[in-house]
Structure 1
Amino acid sequence: ALLPAPGSASATAAAIALPPEGVALVTRDARTVGLDLFKWHDFKFGDCPGQPQYFPWLQTFLSPGALYMVVANLSAPLEDTKAAVEEQLNILCSSVPRAVVVVVGTQADRVPQGELDGRLAVVWEQVEAWQARWEKLSDACAREAAAAAEEGAAEDPSSRPTKRARAEQGPPEMPYFYPQITCTSANTYQGMLELIRVLMELVNTKSLFPLYGAEVPLVYEYFRLFLLATRYGLEGEERKQMVLSLERPDPASHTSVVPFIRQDELVRE
């Protein structure tokens, strides 16, 4: 799961407030610099910094196969919140067109009583308006691709490769959105159990994450450990022992599942 959130939106607090830990909240003036990782059950949370100067670094972690949490600060001025949500969606769509997205409202405890439902509705309307614009763009691209294919067939052979490439590129693909915003507060733990339910529902949807829970071929893990050992300067017997530290599966079980090894622990060692 990756949180490409704007600064001071409580994305970090929301990630580390998830049960069962649910205690180590950060201070209000804390900032994520580079990338913070949180381990939660089978998830690795990647918490990317919200400051614009870190955008090139953030791009490194925007890749297919992740679950993205678009964070909306419900206590901020609505226009600022809408602009931040729009920016996050544009970043995701330009980098990971088929992203699986959960929109998470944070700092619900700081919203004046009676205003929460209205703010949630405004944020979700912004998401739906963005979807409508993207679908319109997708339709326009599809028509342009069809026209390019026809032009390529009618023109001289030398121009056909370019026309064919435009036609094959096709329209941009839409992200998949969980169909409602999840409202949370890291201070009161409001909505945290619901957020867990949503995350688990999504990752267990095979059409979205077909490889979640799948067995990992042992040879991949041996190769990964070999690369890590080389990267950290281990040689000879040390590198061999690190690679062989994996427990060999029981041949009778017909399984290739391997134990989870945390890279940050390897770095410390």
Structure 2
Amino acid sequence: MADLSIENAGLVIIDKSDGITSHDAVSRCRKIFNTRRVGHAGTLDPMATGVLVIGIERATKLLGLLSLTTKAYVATIRLGSSTTTDDKEGEILTRGDVSGVTDEAIATGIAALTGEIEQVPAKVSAIKVDGRRAHALVRTGADFDLEARPVTVSRFDVLEIRRVDGSDGSGGFIDIDVEVDCSAGTYIRSLARDLGAGLGVGGHLTALRRTAVGPFTLEHARTLDQLAEHPLLSLTIDEAALLSFPRRDIDAEEAESISQGRWLEPVGLKGIHVAVDPEGQAIALIQEKGRRASSVMVVRPATLR
């Protein structure tokens, strides 16, 4: 973990507990770090736990530039009932008899949901419908449909299958622990819903833990309670930039120039990359356009050098 500098700018990787919102986590960090300049990237539902990326001070500007296009989860899918929210917090819509669902049928259903697929987001998602969040519309009782959109599920692996026969009065169900690697915008609860629908028995999510967002993993993460006791950054703004973007080494003169907002000569690099001075410090995030490599964010302004 990085010590707090005078400037105190960097990322905190939170291991979010269940029952709190991403906004709750931001509010806690504002108190812990005694600053209003706190933001988050990649919202987690209150039910979900795991990796939440928080920006502190000037690193809040970094959040919108991070390439958080891949995510990883562990989850539990329950077959045997569908719910209004596609997770355990919703009301049960349908029940199905799981006694005839074989492991082979589960594997076939999962294979159909792996790769490049079209997915209808959950209605309790943050997607906007006519200017309003879908989850807010659901609470009003409004009837609406969301369009399917392309997502990529690069890994959908079964860890364990547990069967309950219903003799305890539960009606019987199958719990499947899974690991999922996917593109941003993929809804794990929708995978649970669609797996259950494909098997004809209904399905919903009972547990969800995010283990990685882009390059940030649980190895970087701390709970809010741990953070309150020892308020340390997970990554300084330099470390975050170096971890998250391709690197371009520059000399001292170029570093001075870009730190003052001037531009560099392009060298044929695509996308956003980090300009690094001879001392290994991240000076700016730059992007080439035409005959210029201009800064999209100055990580280390001349006043801090």
Shorter-chain TM-score: which interval? Answer: under 0.3
Taking structure 1 as the reference length, what is the TM-score of the superposition?
0.25
Instruction: Identify the structure with the greater strand proportion.
Output: 2
Q: Greater relative contact order (Cα 8 A, min sep 6): structure 1 or 2? A: 2
Taking structure 2 as the reference length, what is the TM-score of the superposition?
0.23
Instruction: Identify the structure with the greater helix proportion.
Output: 1
